[in-house]
Amino acid sequence: MYEKYSKAMKNLTLSIMELLGLSLGIGKDYYRDFFQDCDYITRCNYYPPCPQPELTQGTGPHTDPVALTILHQEDKEEGLEVFTGGKWQSVRPVLGAFVVNIGDTFMPPLQNV
């Protein structure tokens, strides 16, 4: 099951990379070719409900040190936050959807910035 899921996520990642290349006007293969043979990390976090939610922290404040993060928020509960406008904002989960974050190492070609 894990291998099947990991392969599906790799294919999704490569499809998103194709779309990023197309949207930046550099062609669909630019990022796909670069990331095709890279290592992928699958991290599965589960946080059961806490009777004292003010005491929970989850993974804590961080940035994603990768090119792309695909997040599936399974619950209706808010947990993901982004730092924008000088404060933390909750990201409301959308059932059946993924959150796609551009990570710290993604770099568009300079001529397209």
* Residue 112 resides in a domain: no
Give the per-residue pLDDT at 110.
66
Mean pLDDT of all residues in 100-112? 76
Q: How many domains does the chain have?
A: 2
Q: Please indicate, yes or no, whether residues 57 and 71 belong to a single structural domain of this protein.
A: yes
Q: Is the pLDDT of residue 17 over 90?
A: yes
Q: Please indicate, yes or no, whether residues 27 and 50 belong to a single structural domain of this protein.
A: no
Rounding to the nearest 10 degrees, give the CA dihedral for residues 12, 18, 93, 83: 130
Mean pLDDT of all residues in 23-38? 89
pTM, rounded to two decimals: 0.75
Nearest to residue 70, comparing CAs of 3, 22, 5, 25?
A: 5
The band of 35, judged by pLDDT with boundaries at 50, 70 and 90, is confident
Q: Please indicate, yes or no, whether residues 88 and 66 belong to a single structural domain of this protein.
A: yes
**Domain range enclosing 91:** 46-107
Contact 102, 68 (CB under 8 A): yes
